[in-house]
C-alpha cells in the first residue's frame, strides 16, 4: 500500500466495471487493467459511480479489487487503488469499511450521503465518524447535483484537518467555491476535479489533478495537459486539451458510463458494452456518432 496523501495527484481513472451476461467479466477486467497500468495513470478508483458500484455486491467488489491488484502485480507496475463507497446510513457505511478493511486497497473515495440531505453539521459528523473508523485514508467526494447537498468550504476545511482525510474529488459545479477552497486548504490536502469538461480550467486554477471517466480514451493526451502546465507550457497544454475536450461532451451525452463502455467495446478493450439496470446501453443515434468519432481518431493516429 502507499502513502495516499503523497500519491493523490495527477490523473486518476475511475475504472469502468465490465459485465457479460450479468456477471463480472474478469477477462475484460484483466485486459483493462493491463492496458491502463501501461498508460500515464497515477491511480485507479474502483466501484465508484463510473464503475457502477451501487449495483455491485460485496463479493463482486472484493473480486474486482483482487483481480485488479493481481493483474498489476503481474504487469510489475502498481498504482494506488481507492475503493468507491456511497450510502446514506452512517452505520451501514461503517459496516462496509469493516468488510473491506483487509482488502488490498490504499484508501476510499466516499460520496456525501444521498437523498436524505443532511445539514452541514450532519455531514461533518458523518465523515468524521467514518474517518475515525476507517482502516485506510479517505478522500471525500462532493457532488451536490447527485446527492442533493453541497459540502460548503467551511465543512470541507474542518474535515481537511482530520488526519485520516487526505483529499477531495471536487464536483461542486461552482468555480468560485473551488478557487476559494484551493486558496484556503491546509498543506497536503489534495483537490482533484471530477468534472471532465472543466479539467483544463481546474488545473489552471491550481487543482492537483483529475479523476476523469473520459481519460479511458486518449489517456496520454489527458495526462499531457497537466504535464505541459507543470512545465509552464500554457499554449501546449491548451493545444493538448483541445484534442480531447470534445470527448468530455460526447462521453456524457447519455448517462455515464454507458457511452464509454460502448467505445471500449468497439475498440476491443472490453467484450461487451453491458451495463446494469437502471442504466441502459446507449441508443443507436449516439452509437453512430461514437462510431464516426472512433473512425476519425483512428485515421488521425495513422
Q: What's the CATH code of the domain at 66?
A: 3.20.20.70
Asked, for residue 286, whether it belongs to a domain, the answer is no
When the pLDDT of each residue in the chain is averaged and rounded to a whole number, the result is 97
pLDDT for residue 79 is more than 60:
yes
Q: Which helix (H) or strand (E) holds 35?
A: helix 26-37
Q: What pLDDT is recorded for position 2?
A: 57
Asked, for residue 267, whether it belongs to a domain, the answer is no
User: Which residues belong to the active site?
Assistant: 141, 169
Asked, for residue 302, whether it belongs to a domain, the answer is no
How far, in Å, CA of 209 to CA of 260, rounded?
A: 21
pLDDT band at 3; cut points 50, 70, 90: confident
Location of C-alpha cell 452512517: 90
pLDDT for residue 65 is more than 60:
yes
**Helix or strand or coil: residue 138?**
strand
**Helix or strand or coil: residue 193?**
strand
Question: pLDDT digit string (tens) for 134-165?
Answer: 999 999 999 999 999 999 999 999 999 999 99
Domain hosting 137: range is: 4-240
Q: What pLDDT is recorded for position 248?
A: 97
Q: What pLDDT is recorded for position 53?
A: 97
How far, in Å, CA of 32 to CA of 17, rounded?
A: 9
108: nearest Cα among 138, 63, 72: 138
Q: What pLDDT is recorded for position 302?
A: 73
How far, in Å, CA of 79 to CA of 143, rounded?
A: 25
Q: 43-46 and 23-24: which strand pairing?
A: unpaired
Let me know if 64 is exposed, middle or buried by CB neighbors in 10 A (0-12, 13-18, 19+): buried
Asked, for residue 253, whether it belongs to a domain, the answer is no
Total of domains in the chain = 1
Asked, for residue 176, whether it belongs to a domain, the answer is yes
Task: Decide if 186 contacts 209 (C-beta within 8 A).
Answer: no
Q: What global pTM score does this model have?
A: 0.97
151: nearest Cα among 122, 185, 109: 122
Asked, for residue 99, whether it belongs to a domain, the answer is yes
Asked, for residue 249, whether it belongs to a domain, the answer is no
Mean pLDDT of the region 118-146: 97
Asked, for residue 248, whether it belongs to a domain, the answer is no
Q: What pLDDT is recorded for position 301?
A: 81
- 300 vs 40, which has greater pLDDT? 40
pLDDT for residue 194 is more than 60:
yes
Q: What pLDDT is recorded for position 156?
A: 98
How far, in Å, CA of 177 to CA of 104, rounded?
A: 34
Percentage of the chain modeled with pLDDT above 70: 99
Task: Decide if 230 contacts 218 (C-beta within 8 A).
Answer: no
Q: Which three cell numbers stand for residue 130?
A: 467514518
Question: pLDDT digit string (tens) for 213-269?
Answer: 999 999 999 999 999 999 999 999 999 999 999 999 999 999 999 999 999 999 999
Where are the alpha helices (H) located in the chain, listed in sequence order?
4-7, 26-37, 58-75, 90-99, 120-133, 144-147, 153-160, 175-184, 199-205, 219-230, 234-250, 258-266, 284-301
pLDDT for residue 1 is more than 80:
no
Task: Decide if 19 contacts 274 (C-beta within 8 A).
Answer: yes
How far, in Å, CA of 115 to CA of 253, rounded?
A: 24
Amino acid at each position: 500500500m502507499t502513502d495516499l496523501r503523497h500519491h493523490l495527484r495527477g490523473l486518476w481513472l475511475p475504472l469502468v466495471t465490465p459485465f457479460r451476461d450479468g456477471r463480472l467479466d474478469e477477462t475484460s477486467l484483466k485486459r483493462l487493467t493491463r492496458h491502463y497500468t501501461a498508460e500515464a495513470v497515477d491511480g485507479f478508483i474502483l466501484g465508484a459511480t463510473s464503475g457502477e458500484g451501487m449495483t455491485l455486491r460485496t463479493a463482486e467488489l472484493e473480486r474486482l479489487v483482487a483481480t485488479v491488484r493481481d493483474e498489476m502485480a503481474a504487469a510489475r507496475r502498481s498504482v494506488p487503488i481507492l475503493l468507491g463507497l456511497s450510502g446514506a446510513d452512517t452505520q451501514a457505511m461503517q459496516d462496509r469499511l469493516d468488510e473491506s478493511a483487509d482488502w488490498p486497497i490504499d484508501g476510499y473515495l466516499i460520496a456525501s450521503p444521498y437523498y436524505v440531505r443532511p445539514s452541514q453539521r450532519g455531514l461533518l459528523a458523518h465523515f468524521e465518524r467514518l474517518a475515525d473508523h476507517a482502516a485506510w485514508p479517505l478522500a471525500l467526494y462532493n457532488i451536490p447535483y447527485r446527492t442533493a447537498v453541497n459540502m460548503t468550504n467551511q465543512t470541507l476545511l474542518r474535515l481537511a484537518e482530520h488526519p485520516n482525510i487526505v483529499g477531495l474529488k471536487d464536483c461542486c459545479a461552482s468555480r468560485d467555491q473551488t478557487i476559494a477552497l484551493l486558496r484556503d486548504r491546509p498543506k497536503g490536502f489534495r483537490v482533484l476535479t471530477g468534472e471532465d469538461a472543466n479539467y483544463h480550467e481546474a488545473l489552471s486554477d491550481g487543482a492537483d489533478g483529475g479523476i476523469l471517466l473520459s481519460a479511458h480514451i486518449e489517456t496520454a493526451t489527458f495526462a499531457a495537459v497537466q504535464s505541459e502546465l507543470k512545465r509552464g507550457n500554457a499554449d501546449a497544454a491548451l493545444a493538448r486539451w483541445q484534442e480531447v475536450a470534445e470527448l468530455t461532451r460526447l462521453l456524457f451525452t447519455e448517462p455515464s458510463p454507458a457511452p464509454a463502455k460502448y467505445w471500449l467495446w468497439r475498440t476491443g478493450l472490453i467484450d461487451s458494452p453491458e451495463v446494469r439496470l437502471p442504466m441502459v446501453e446507449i441508443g443507436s443515434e449516439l452509437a453512430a456518432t461514437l462510431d464516426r468519432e472512433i473512425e476519425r481518431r483512428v485515421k488521425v493516429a495513422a
